[in-house]
Amino acid sequence: MPLGAVIEKELRMFFRYPLRVFSAVLVGIVFLLQFVFFGQAVLGGRYSQLLASSTGIGDYPTYALIGYVLWWLSVSPMEAYVWGIRRELQRGTFETSVAAPIRITELLLGLALSWLLMDSVLMMVVFVFGVLIFHISLSLPVVLKSLPVLLLSFLSFLGFGLIFAGLVMMFKNIGPFAQIFEFSMLFFSGVFFPLNVMPRGVVLFSQIFPLTHSVTAIRAIFTGKTYAEVLPSISWLLILVLFYWITGYALFRWAEKTTRVMGYGGY
């Protein structure tokens, strides 16, 4: 299966270098520690009444850990397209793969899925580390209950990332542009602080990011809420899945057409 071949190839290249894997895990952990300790320092402890009343989770490490892991996963497909395709363009391998009968959408989806898979493994390690180091109480049913929402979130993240797939083929180096979005999501999606402390306009703007709804839904599930209670966030995610996949695909097709006029290669 061609999609499987792309994923296998990416995983092989990533896990071939243990140092690279170790460094990725280390970076993930260091950033988490920084954010959690910074948050605690500002709050004056690990518990916040403001957080509890606005999000249902008053324990800052739990709050930040969920937000941080989901943020990392949300930018994964975007990073796959922006840096993954760029790397292939630089290597000169992109054209070799595009010349094959595999559909280009399948090729790119394989790339995004493999990065999402790698980041999921990475974030699993970071999550377990966070749970242990901050003594976060966690139960298996809660984790299992959050999985369908997580899968729906993945779908929306993949659609959101697709917008960047076309752009990178056309413009080649859009890393800095993509980083604006990555950090906007960190800021606007309530990853490290509740959105209700922000101006109303910003809160409204934050609704366009799938991460906002993903974080809200999963945090709510962690506090014991039912799917029915998180239906608004799930509905938002479903709408955004459709919106970003359709918009992303249309933009990608246009970009691909333009790229075929200019050429895939050339870095």
Partner 1 sequence: MHAIDVRELRKSYPKKIPLPFRKVEWIEAVKGISFRVRKGELFGLLGPNGAGKTTTIKILTTLLEPSGGSAEVLGYDIRKDAREIRKRINLVAEGERTLYWRLSAYENLKYFARIYYVPKNEEKERIEQLLRLVGLWERRNDLVMNYSRGMKQRLAIAKALINDPEVLFLDEPTLGLDVQSAVFVREFIRKLVDEQKKTVLLTTHYMAEAEELCDRIAIIDHGKIIALDTPSGLKRLVKGEDAVQIRVRDLSFQGIKSLPWKLVIVKEDAERGTVTLRGHVSEEDLPKVVESLVKTGAKILSVEQKEPTLEDVFIKLTGRALRD
Binding site for partner 1 (CB under 8 A): 1-2, 4-6, 8-9, 12-13, 16, 91-93, 95-103, 107, 170-171, 257-258, 260-264
Nearest distance, CB of residue 193 and partner 1, angstroms: 38
| Cα gap 103→35, rounded to integer Å | 41
Closest to partner 1 by CB, 44 vs 263, is 263
Closest to partner 1 by CB, 45 vs 101, is 101
Q: For the chain, how many helices (H) and strands (E)?
A: 12, 0
| Cα gap 111→80, rounded to integer Å | 6
Nearest distance, CB of residue 124 and partner 1, angstroms: 24
Q: What's the CA angle centered on 25, arms 188 and 164, to 5 degrees?
A: 45
Closest to partner 1 by CB, 105 vs 207, is 105
CB pairs under 8 A, 24+ apart, for 90-93? Answer: 90/267, 92/265, 92/267
Nearest distance, CB of residue 253 and partner 1, angstroms: 14
Nearest distance, CB of residue 211 and partner 1, angstroms: 29
Report the DSSP beta bridge partners of residue 59: 47
Closest to partner 1 by CB, 22 vs 37, is 22
Pick from 158, 133, 165: which is nearest to 214 by CA? 158
Closest to partner 1 by CB, 171 vs 227, is 171
Instruction: Give the number of other CB atoms < 10 A from CB of residue 106.
Output: 14
Nearest distance, CB of residue 180 and partner 1, angstroms: 20
Q: Is 59 helix (H, G, I), strand (E, B) or coil?
A: strand
Residue 198 DSSP code: S
Closest to partner 1 by CB, 92 vs 224, is 92
Nearest distance, CB of residue 69 and partner 1, angstroms: 28
CB pairs under 8 A, 24+ apart, for 224-228? Answer: 224/142, 225/56, 227/148
